[in-house]
């Protein structure tokens, strides 16, 4: 959902509605256009493929994919067992696979362990399952503090864990991306997969949130 190129108004643009010329995009936006134009002219890229990629990440891929996996794991013990042993083939069957050839690893939260995911290098993230990471996941603050003081970071997300529950922080890489399988909330025994799916939040699959009963 773009707001268009008018999100950044340059100083020499007019603030009224009578623009003599088009609003000038920001410097990085112009540099991206320049790069794209040159690579297209050289035949190195196909602009239509770019549109397809954007459409996929904006409309087809998102946390609902991860929620689907989590809800299935809660409902189907065999699926869950296979998922925890080797996630890639299980996810591929559902149509989720990494375009960059990365491996997916699913880590399960239990009463004794709470898992949390970070990428200290850049912002490696399970795109096929969660889409594009939120801004905070890419921030320096999260990337450095998640490892150093995970409980403090969790508290800022409103998550306070019992003393006896250890926190395990997983550092993603270009090759391995982690998805947290949150604990199934109590009182959801009679709920079907579709309803369970609606309870699962993006943050809970990064390990920065808990799934709560409806």
Partner 1 sequence: MTPEPSFEAPWHAQLFALTVHLNEAGHFAWPDWAARFGATLKRHGLAKELNGGDDYFIVWLETLEALMTETGAAEATALSDMRAAWEAAYMRTPHGQPVTLD
- The tokens describing 27, both together, are 């410097």
Distance CA 109, CA 130 (A): 18
Residue 185 burial by Cβ neighbours in a 10 Å radius (0-12, 13-18, 19+): middle
Residue 142 or 170 with smaller CB distance to partner 1: 142
Instruction: Point out which residues bind partner 1 (CB under 8 A).
Output: 1-2, 4-5, 7-8, 19-26, 28-39, 42, 44-46, 49-51, 53-54, 57-58, 62-64, 67, 99-102, 121-124, 131-132, 134-142, 173-175, 198, 200-202
Catalytic site residue 208?
no
Residue 28 or 164 with smaller CB distance to partner 1: 28
Q: How far is the CB of 50 from partner 1 (least distance, A)?
A: 4
Which of 119, 172, 204, 208 is catalytic? The answer is: 119
Q: Which residue blocks in the chain are alpha helix, DSSP H? A: 27-41, 47-55, 63-75, 77-85, 87-93, 127-130, 135-138, 140-148, 150-156, 193-199, 202-206
Residue 159 or 203 with smaller CB distance to partner 1: 203
The catalytic residues are 119, 122-124
């Amino acid at each position: 959902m773009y707001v268009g190129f008018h999100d950044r108004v340059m100083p020499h643009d007019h603030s009224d509605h009578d623009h003599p010329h088009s609003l000038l995009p920001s410097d990085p936006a112009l540099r991206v256009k320049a790069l794209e134009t040159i690579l297209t002219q050289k035949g190195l890229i196909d602009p239509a493929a770019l549109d397809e990629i954007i459409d996929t990440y904006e409309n087809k891929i998102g946390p609902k994919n991860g929620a689907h996996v989590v809800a299935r794991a809660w409902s189907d013990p065999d699926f869950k067992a296979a998922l925890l042993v080797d996630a890639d083939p299980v996810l591929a069957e559902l149509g989720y696979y990494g375009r960059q050839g990365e491996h997916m690893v699913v880590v399960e939260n239990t009463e004794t362990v709470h898992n949390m995911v970070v990428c200290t290098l850049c912002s490696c993230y399970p795109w096929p399952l969660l889409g594009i990471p939120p801004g905070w996941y890419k921030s320096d603050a999260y990337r450095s503090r998640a490892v150093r003081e995970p409980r403090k970071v969790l508290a800022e997300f409103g998550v306070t864990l019992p003393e006896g529950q250890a926190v395990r922080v997983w550092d993603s890489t270009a090759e391995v991306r982690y998805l947290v399988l949150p604990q199934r909330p109590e009182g959801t025994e009679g709920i079907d997969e579709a309803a369970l799916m609606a309870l699962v939040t993006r943050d809970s699959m990064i390990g920065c949130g808990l799934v709560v009963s409806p």
